[in-house]
Amino acid sequence: MKDELFKEKLTKQFEFDKSVASVFDDMINRSVPFYKENLELCANLIKKLTKEGAKVCDLGCSSANFLIFLASLRKDLKLFGVDNAPSMLEIAKSKAQAYGLNIEFFEANLCDFVFFQSDVFVANYTLQFIRPPKRQELVNEIYKNLNKGGIFIMSEKILYEDAFLSKNMIELYADYKERQGYSKIEIAAKREALENVLIPYSEKENLDMLKNAGFKKIESVFKWVNFETFIAFK
């Protein structure tokens, strides 16, 4: 279904409710530059870097696009998805069932989730929705529950520290969304709905957060304007 949620001004903050879930796949493909390519990059990295039977847990799995693609690359992986939105998980479970995949899903707020040991944790465009006072604590928990040699992949919308550059990057992103068919009114309405809901960090803040959790080996593997993907090893 096509994302037309913001053609009319909404009176509430953005949330991953039933209306968002119904258009999510279209929304994310049109709103996140190179979403499909980045998803495939992350999955292929996991394919190459993990042992047979590795546990992979997607934190904020939404409609399970990432897990389903990863399953197509490696049948041996044990896959888990966590999300706090019942409507999203309903779609995720339905899609996994349609593909005949054995993915275990958990409905939970990540800040309250009881973590288990995994070889890989993935958080693609997830931590930006976690309140800043809780974010470091969550990444600490991710590090603690990674097996030795484990991998954490994190994709985020980012801020630029230079105000002039930041302004121009935001404008470039708005131009991108217009090219995807969103009107200026829709772009402004969604930006307003996301205010104080999606809170991005700068590249430095994200790197510091990973280092403070205990990660020593961290690399940026993808970047486009104000979106970036990091990989960190335990």
- pLDDT over 60 at 76, yes or no: yes
Mean per-residue pLDDT over the chain, rounded: 92
In whole angstroms, what is the distance from residue 163 CA to residue 169 CA?
A: 10
Is 124 known as a binding-site position? yes
Q: Is 200 a domain residue?
A: yes
Is 29 known as a binding-site position? no
* Domain span including residue 61: 18-233
- pLDDT exceeding 90 applies to what percent of the chain? 80
123 neighbors 146 (Cβ within 8 angstroms): no
Is 60 known as a binding-site position? yes
Q: How many CA atoms lie within 13 Å of 70's alpha carbon, on the beta-carbon side?
A: 32
CA distances from 207 to 85, 141, 220 (A): 28, 16, 9
Rounded mean pLDDT, 45-54:
98
Among 102, 97, 104, smallest CA distance to 81 is for: 104
pLDDT value, residue 35: 96
In whole angstroms, what is the distance from residue 231 CA to residue 218 CA?
A: 6
Is 62 known as a binding-site position? yes
- pLDDT over 60 at 6, yes or no: no
Q: Is 8 a domain residue?
A: no
pLDDT value, residue 192: 79
Q: Is 7 a domain residue?
A: no
Q: Is 46 a domain residue?
A: yes
pLDDT value, residue 1: 58
Q: For 107-162, what is each residue's pLDDT tens digit?
A: 999 999 999 999 999 999 999 999 999 999 999 999 999 999 999 999 999 999 99
Q: Which amino acid is at 152?
A: F
Q: For 92-103, what is each residue's pLDDT tens digit?
A: 999 999 999 999
In whole angstroms, what is the distance from residue 174 CA to residue 161 CA?
A: 19
Q: Is 169 a domain residue?
A: yes
The terminus-to-terminus CA distance of the chain in angstroms comes to 40
138 neighbors 165 (Cβ within 8 angstroms): no
The domain that contains 93 carries what CATH number? 3.40.50.150
Q: Which amino acid is at 78?
A: K
Beta bridge partners of 156: 228
Is 181 known as a binding-site position? no
How remote is the C-alpha of 159 from its chain's centroid? 16
Rounded mean pLDDT, 35-58:
98
Predicted confidence band of residue 3 (pLDDT cuts 50, 70, 90): very low
Is 84 known as a binding-site position? yes
Q: Which amino acid is at 64?
A: A
Q: List the alpha helices (DSSP H) in 6-162.
A: 18-31, 35-49, 65-73, 86-98, 132-144
Query: 174 or 182: whose pLDDT is higher?
Result: 174
Q: Is 187 a domain residue?
A: yes
- pLDDT over 50 at 170, yes or no: yes
Q: For residue 61, what are the contacts with CB-CB under 8 A and spacing of at least 6? A: 67, 81, 82, 83, 88, 89, 92, 105
- pLDDT over 50 at 4, yes or no: no
Query: 41 or 194: whose pLDDT is higher?
Result: 41
pLDDT value, residue 66: 98
Query: 135 or 1: whose pLDDT is higher?
Result: 135
Q: Is 13 a domain residue?
A: no
Q: For 25-37, what is each residue's pLDDT tens digit?
A: 788 888 999 999 9
107 neighbors 84 (Cβ within 8 angstroms): yes
Q: How many domains does the chain have?
A: 1
